[in-house]
Amino acid sequence: MARRPFVAGNWKMHGSSASNQALLAAALADGKRCAGVDVAVCVPFPYLAQAAGALQGSGTGLGAQDVSEHASGAYTGEVSSAMLADLGCTHVIVGHSERRSLHGESDALVARKFVRAMASTLKPILCVGETLAEREAGQTEAVVLRQLQAVVQTTSPERWAHAVLAYEPVWAIGTGRTASAQDAQAVHARLRAALATWGAPADAIRIVYGGSVKPGNAGELFSMPDIDGGLIGGASLVADDFSAICDAAQRTH
């Protein structure tokens, strides 16, 4: 089945109102130029309104990098899915490895956030991935399937068509080390098979790769049958690099 590739920038905690302008203009142009590719940028909370204004009416999606598990209430510092949707967000990242490792987010909490996003109009981008120690211990498959299953078992499978799954091996994030296209493909295929077993519309779900994706390796990764695009960190902060990665997604699908 032909899936539309999805390429999202994750700016993490970078940017300023001044520096964002050029990146947003470039992302808007990428979304227009790359017909057939869904392009999105996930910006820090304080810049969502700026990004929503800059991207308004364009095909480029807008994502937040986290969401509260709660609908509303006395949760100082938290941001709800309704607020994100109200601001114009189309997507939200849940379960990024930096949230899991630096903020102690458990599989169960990630699942609750995913459900909360699903209950709104937001499309969740669920991140899974193993650490270097887990990979070296031969646990890659067990870890990513555990992370995925925690979410799948709390949701109804048919609703997954709106979600994006991101395989982000922790050891490849921000390190310049990328999973080989073959290794990443093997994990993606395993994730897709698991989604199918659980009754989700596996053929329709985009499974994107993240971890040191650059213009030089994007084409090879994206040409794999189960790699449907990328979640891009560092390279999404360099407009020309992000554009080249969006172009690679278009070329290879």
CB-hemisphere CA count at 13 Å for 194?
A: 21
- Pick between residue 157 and residue 215 the one whose CB is nearest to ligand 13P: 215
Q: Does residue 98 carry a catalytic annotation?
A: no
User: What is the sign of the dihedral through the CA atoms of 102, 168, 164 and 250?
Assistant: positive
Query: Residue 65 Cβ, how far from ligand 13P at the closest point, in Å?
Result: 8
Query: Residue 245 Cβ, how far from ligand 13P at the closest point, in Å?
Result: 10
Which residue is closest to ligand 13P by CB? 233
Rounded distance between C-alpha atoms, residue 87 and residue 67, angstroms: 13
- Pick between residue 10 and residue 60 the one whose CB is nearest to ligand 13P: 10
- Pick between residue 6 and residue 86 the one whose CB is nearest to ligand 13P: 6
Query: Residue 170 Cβ, how far from ligand 13P at the closest point, in Å?
Result: 9
Q: Does residue 103 carry a catalytic annotation?
A: no
Catalytic site residue from 105, 130, 134, 168: 168
Query: Residue 125 Cβ, how far from ligand 13P at the closest point, in Å?
Result: 9
The one-letter code for the residue type at 231 is L
Q: Which residues bind ligand 13P (CB under 6 A)?
A: 10, 96, 168, 173-174, 210-213, 231-235
Query: Residue 73 Cβ, how far from ligand 13P at the closest point, in Å?
Result: 29
- Pick between residue 98 and residue 226 the one whose CB is nearest to ligand 13P: 98
- Pick between residue 158 and residue 246 the one whose CB is nearest to ligand 13P: 246
- Pick between residue 103 and residue 159 the one whose CB is nearest to ligand 13P: 103
Q: DSSP characters for the chain? A: -----EEEEE--S---HHHHHHHHHHHHHHHHHSTT-EEEEE--GGGHHHHHHHHTTSS-EEEES---SSSSSS-TT---HHHHHHHT--EEEES-HHHHHHS---HHHHHHHHHHHHHTTPEEEEEE---HHHHHTT-HHHHHHHHHHHHHTTS-GGGGGG-EEEE--GGGTTSS----HHHHHHHHHHHHHHHHHTTS-TTTSEEEEESS--HHHHHHHHTSTT--EEEESGGGGSHHHHHHHHHHHHHT-
Please, are residues 208 and 8 in contact by the beta-carbon 8 Å criterion?
yes
Query: Residue 249 Cβ, how far from ligand 13P at the closest point, in Å?
Result: 15
Catalytic site residue from 96, 98, 134, 188: 96
What are the catalytic residues? 96, 168
